[in-house]
Amino acid sequence: MKKTVAFFFILYSSVCGAQKYNFSNAAFDNYKERFVLALWKQNPGLASSKGFHLYDTALVVPDDNARKNELIFCKQQLDSIKRFNINTLSDNNKIDYHLIKSHLQSSQWYINTFKAFVWNPANYNICGEFAE
């Protein structure tokens, strides 16, 4: 009897763990989809260069306001991604998690530390976005 109870306890625990695992991955998949759409809206030039043309009519002027909006976007998305426990994600989602996090942190670093907009006049050449 004790073995049967132990077996069902282990089985129940593994099933509940699997449901939690699947829910975590499904929730993260949903987040990734929302993230990419928000990324395209935030960076219409990037979206256009990758073949997503919904925001082709939008052009971001590379000024202080655009950089401020980019930093707000990065902070919001980094806060969102923190709510996922990476240990419950599949290997593919772990990779996506790190890619998203790295992209957001890189964007912050380029604005806050590298500051090419201060010393590189080519940053203000928006012709490439028009050409695409």
Rounded to an integer, what distance in angstroms lies between the CA atom of residue 49 and that of residue 23? 33
Which amino acid does the sequence have at 23? F
Rounded to an integer, what distance in angstroms lies between the CA atom of residue 115 and that of residue 112? 6
Rounded to an integer, what distance in angstroms lies between the CA atom of residue 11 and that of residue 50? 46
Reply yes or no on whether the pLDDT at 16 is more than 60. Answer: no
**pTM summary value:** 0.80
Q: Say what percent of the chain tops pLDDT 70.
A: 80
Q: Tell me: the pLDDT tens digits for 28-85?
A: 999 999 999 999 999 998 998 899 999 988 888 899 999 999 999 999 999 999 999 9
Rounded to an integer, what distance in angstroms lies between the CA atom of residue 104 and that of residue 72? 11
Closest Cα to residue 95, out of 12, 22, 14, 32? Answer: 32
The burial class, CB within 10 Å (0-12 / 13-18 / 19+), for 5 is exposed
Confirm if 24 and 86 have CB atoms less than 8 A apart. no
Q: What is the mean pLDDT of residues 100-128?
A: 92
